[in-house]
């Protein structure tokens, strides 16, 4: 009976996550795809460049604190209600550090916009900078809620994001059919969802603790916990940063070596490839708290990892087959005839979708095992590999060369993660009771 109840709860959480996050991501993609034929290859290339740069810079505000917060809150929840103050401290520290990181981010976005772009492209960069920062904080709010396993609240947050994005897209398509209009719509939608997320979070994690007043506690920061948080989250952040770099750096190479128009064509194929990540992200969002809590039970953790890996790889095979066999119809349906050449890149990227799905799981397995430094070094190595492949293949094949570089890098990441998990499984497990843990005041 408990097992059946647990299965029903897992299916319910997965359904909520799938519907809400799938809707939010689908709306985001649909808005961009709907404007691509209107903007044309060159303007869409400028959008891809600006959105890529702002996404990379926004990752600098994360510092690994999103994953760290989910993992820490999930483990604190597993200890019972007596750790409510501990959970509140974890949330407070994560938000405070990310708030401090927002200032250098804003300076970096302004510097890139002023030194590398002109005219409407510069304005678009500024607007997307606002959108990316708001989206980053929204993702952190979702990470907090996920740690509490309040998937219903997370579903409402993602649904609100989806509605705001849909409204922004409708207004953009019908009224402001331009690059600046698209970026302004995305910025407004992300800021609106951020406000809703803040209200939701305040209800879930009230500021009052014990006899302290809300005003007094708001100005307190547990520096010991902050130091412990950064020591644990920085390897996760560096791994995510280098992972994002090797995943996105081909955009910069294609633009510099082939121009905005070619980047627009390749960017169309890559949007489909990137959009496929909705499925593994949904599954791991629900499963990660369970992986984190199973860290003290190697047998249970191993079973869960094997089950997730099989599901991810199987789903990747199916999605990859659809993209490979239907490359041309998919591109023409989403982006129009002018982006027809993107089908060649999409077919190559489709070969890597099963690896993409599997790697999403493998990297989360390592993080759940407190092996963030292993993912960090994996990402550094893959970035070096991807840069070499890009410089070799893009001059010869353009977007298709960049696609092959992405696939080969994903293959390298699979080999690294499998080897790392085997080493970790063979090594003696240190009991959680004696492992260094963050102080919670």
Distances in Å between the alpha carbon of 411 and those of 263, 273, 417? 24, 15, 10
pLDDT digits (tens, 9 = 90+) for 121-161: 889 899 999 999 998 998 888 888 888 877 778 888 888 88
Same domain, 213 and 259: no
Same domain, 276 and 167: no
Q: Is pLDDT of 379 > 90? A: no
Same domain, 209 and 128: yes
Same domain, 191 and 268: no
Highest mean pLDDT among 83-87, 286-290, 321-325: 321-325
Asked whether residue 228 is domain-assigned, the answer is no
Q: How many CB atoms lie within 10 A of CB 224?
A: 14
**Which residue from 335, 284, 418 is spatially nearest to 45, judged by alpha carbons?**
335
Same domain, 267 and 131: no
Asked whether residue 233 is domain-assigned, the answer is no
Highest mean pLDDT among 52-61, 189-198, 254-263: 189-198
Asked whether residue 62 is domain-assigned, the answer is yes
Q: Is pLDDT of 274 > 70? A: yes
Asked whether residue 130 is domain-assigned, the answer is yes
- Cβ pair 289, 301 in contact under 8 A: no
Same domain, 167 and 43: yes
Give this prediction's pTM: 0.62
Same domain, 383 and 321: yes
Same domain, 194 and 85: yes
Same domain, 363 and 279: yes
Asked whether residue 226 is domain-assigned, the answer is no
Say how many domains are in the chain: 2
Asked whether residue 56 is domain-assigned, the answer is yes
Domain extent for 397: 252-441
pLDDT class of 438 with cuts at 50, 70, 90: very low
Q: Is pLDDT of 9 > 60? A: no
Same domain, 305 and 202: no
- Cβ pair 385, 242 in contact under 8 A: no
pLDDT digits (tens, 9 = 90+) for 229-269: 888 888 777 777 777 777 778 887 887 777 777 788 888 88
Same domain, 339 and 297: yes
Asked whether residue 109 is domain-assigned, the answer is yes
Same domain, 164 and 85: yes
Q: Average pLDDT for residues 106-113, to the nearest whole number?
A: 90
Asked whether residue 245 is domain-assigned, the answer is no
Q: For every residue of 129-162, which 3-state class applies, written as one string? A: HHHHHHHHHHHHHHHHHHHCCCHHHHHHHHHHHH
**Which residue from 89, 21, 25, 99 is spatially nearest to 62, judged by alpha carbons?**
99
Give the C-alpha separation, 316 to 319, whole Å: 5
């Amino acid at each position: 009976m408990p097992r059946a109840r647990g299965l029903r709860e897992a299916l319910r959480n997965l359904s909520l996550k799938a519907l809400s996050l799938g809707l939010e991501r689908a709306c985001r993609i649909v808005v961009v795809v709907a404007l691509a034929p209107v903007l044309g290859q060159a303007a869409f290339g400028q959008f891809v460049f600006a959105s890529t740069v702002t996404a990379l810079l926004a990752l600098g505000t994360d510092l690994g604190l999103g994953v760290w917060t989910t993992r820490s809150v999930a483990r604190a929840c597993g200890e019972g209600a007596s750790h409510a103050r501990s959970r509140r401290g974890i949330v407070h520290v994560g938000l405070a550090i990310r708030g401090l990181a927002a200032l250098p981010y804003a300076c970096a976005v302004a510097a890139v916009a002023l030194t590398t772009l002109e005219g409407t492209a510069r304005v678009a960069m500024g607007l997307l900078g606002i959108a990316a920062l708001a989206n980053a904080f929204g993702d952190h709010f979702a990470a907090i809620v996920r740690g509490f396993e309040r998937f219903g609240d997370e579903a409402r947050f993602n649904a609100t994001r989806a509605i705001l994005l849909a409204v922004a897209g409708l207004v953009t398509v019908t009224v402001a059919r331009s690059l600046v209009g698209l970026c302004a719509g995305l910025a407004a939608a992300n800021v609106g969802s951020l406000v809703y997320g803040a209200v939701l979070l305040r209800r879930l994690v009230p500021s009052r603790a014990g006899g302290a007043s809300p005003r007094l506690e708001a100005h307190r920061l547990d520096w010991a916990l902050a130091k412990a948080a950064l020591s644990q989250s920085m390897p996760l952040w560096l791994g995510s940063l280098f992972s994002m770099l090797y995943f996105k750096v081909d955009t910069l190479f294609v633009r510099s070596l082939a121009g905005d128009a070619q980047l627009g064509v390749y960017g169309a194929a890559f949007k489909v490839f990137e959009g496929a990540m909705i499925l593994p992200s949904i599954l791991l969002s629900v499963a990660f708290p369970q992986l984190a809590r199973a860290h003290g039970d190697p047998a249970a953790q191993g079973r869960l990892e094997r089950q997730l890996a099989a599901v991810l790889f199987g789903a990747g095979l199916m999605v990859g087959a659809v993209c490979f066999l239907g490359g041309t119809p998919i591109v023409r349906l989403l982006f129009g005839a002018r982006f027809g050449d993107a089908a060649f890149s999409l077919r190559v990227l489709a070969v890597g979708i099963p690896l993409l799905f599997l790697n999403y799981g493998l990297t989360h397995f390592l993080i759940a095992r407190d092996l963030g430094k292993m993912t960090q070094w994996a990402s550094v190595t893959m970035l070096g590999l991807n840069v070499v492949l890009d410089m070799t293949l893009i001059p010869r094949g353009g977007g298709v060369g960049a696609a092959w570089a992405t696939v080969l890098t994903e293959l390298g990441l699979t080999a690294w993660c499998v080897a790392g998990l085997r080493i970790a499984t063979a090594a003696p497990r240190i009991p959680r009771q004696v492992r260094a843990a963050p102080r919670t005041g």
